[in-house]
Amino acid sequence: MHENDVNDVLAQSETDRYIAWPGQALAYKMGQLKIRELRERAKRELGAKFDIKAFHDEILDGGALPLDLLEVRVNAWIKVQAGK
């Protein structure tokens, strides 16, 4: 953290949080990885039709969702965008 210009107080606070609540950091990272996977799939399948702003809207418009339901939602969106 210090290499990324985080001060001592914040670095200690973040370290304590990761120690006390490791599942939160894991859940955050798993969500990040799933959204990146879905974005790459959408880009690959839609090609020139892929619109990053529309993709972000689709991700956010559903609100808080379990990742499996988010994947179902994005897969349906890809089909609509592709005209299938």
CA atoms of 37 and 6, how far apart (whole Å):
29
Which residue carries 């990742």 as its tokens?
67
Whole-model pTM over 0.85: no
According to the model, what pLDDT value does residue 4 have? Answer: 82
Looking at residue 27, its pLDDT comes to: 92
* High-pLDDT (> 90) share of the chain, %: 81
Q: What is the mean pLDDT of each run of 10 residues along the chain (84 residues)?
A: 86 90 92 98 97 97 95 98 90
pLDDT at 63: 95
Check residue 6 and give its pLDDT.
84
